[in-house]
Amino acid sequence: MNFLHTEYDSEPDESLEKSMSLVASAISDPSRVSILCALMDGRAWTATELSAVAGIAASTTSGHLTRLLSNGLVICLTQGRHRYYSLAGHHIAGLLENLMGVSMRSHRAFTPGTPVVLRYARTCYDHLAGELAVKIYDFMLTEQWIESDGNALTSAGKAHFQHIGAVLDPRPRRKPCCACLDWSERRFHLGGDAGQALMALLLQKEWITRTPGYREVSVTDSGRIALSRLFSLNLS
């Protein structure tokens, strides 16, 4: 599998303001937003699949993907004769998650409009989000698995992660742990390398399953038992 190298629209000597406006412009189209949101499941999609989820013609999808590629929002990987598109990284997923939160703000009392299945459990690129993830994060804070600012696991937290089998990267190229604002719950869930490690464990143990083509996550019967035991949750 090879990366398709792309060039950014902006020149190196252009201002930060101009670069920001180019990225904002690339996100401004509803069809491109649909494509980016689909890629938030952390997997690679073909242009045909993205065309279907965005409800647009294949030729139109190609133009949108070119725009997203040129602004560094997505990457393209080639495998044989096929091309697969994915988000350019967890930093882009974070940008989209924050944008979702800002877009849902209102002066009125907050009432979630997200479908129930997505509100409960979904992927946030490579970690778990939704009501379930927020409850797990609250447990970790209460039990002092993570620092109060959410930026690091405590010694106890690292020990517990090792005990349950969540493998942490000893030299992560990203934040080892972070508080990621959940756009449907308006509270924090676990992000960073620790969030990815927990998600990988839940999938490996088949405590959760992913719905192909969607961000929705379902908790299995064995998962309900395990998560209730590990994080003192009532998942009956």
Mean pLDDT computed over 65-70: 93
Q: Is the pLDDT of residue 196 over 90?
A: yes
List Cβ neighbours of 157 (8 Å cut-off, separation of 6 or more).
140, 144, 145, 146, 194
Q: Is the pLDDT of residue 11 over 50?
A: no
Q: Is the pLDDT of residue 13 over 70?
A: no
Q: Is the pLDDT of residue 116 over 80?
A: no
Q: Is the pLDDT of residue 7 over 60?
A: no
The per-residue pLDDT for 104 is 62
Q: Is the pLDDT of residue 159 over 90?
A: yes
The per-residue pLDDT for 2 is 53
Q: Which two tokens stand for residue 116?
A: 């129930």
Three-state SS sequence of 143-206: CCCECCCCCCECHHHHHHHHHHCCCCCCCCCCCCCEEEECCCCCCEEEEHHHHHHHHHHHHHCC
The per-residue pLDDT for 107 is 42
Give residue 234's Cα distance to chain centre: 25
* DSSP 8-state code for residue 216: B
Cα separation of 123 and 129, whole Å? 6
The per-residue pLDDT for 187 is 85
Most confident of 61-75, 106-120, 167-181: 61-75
The per-residue pLDDT for 110 is 47
At 211, the pLDDT band (50, 70, 90 cuts) reads confident
Answer for the pair 22, 71: CB distance below 8 angstroms, yes or no: yes
The per-residue pLDDT for 191 is 92
Please tell me the total number of residues recorded for the chain in this structure. Answer: 236
The per-residue pLDDT for 226 is 96
Answer for the pair 179, 188: CB distance below 8 angstroms, yes or no: yes
The per-residue pLDDT for 101 is 73
The position carrying tokens 């045909």 is: 48
Q: Which two tokens stand for residue 149?
A: 């600012």
Q: Is the pLDDT of residue 4 over 70?
A: no
Answer for the pair 207, 227: CB distance below 8 angstroms, yes or no: yes
Looking at per-residue confidence, does 80 or 4 come out higher?
Answer: 80
The per-residue pLDDT for 43 is 79
Closest CA to 31 of 16, 15, 47: 47
Q: Domains of the chain, with CATH numbers?
A: 2-88 (1.10.10.10), 99-231 (no CATH)
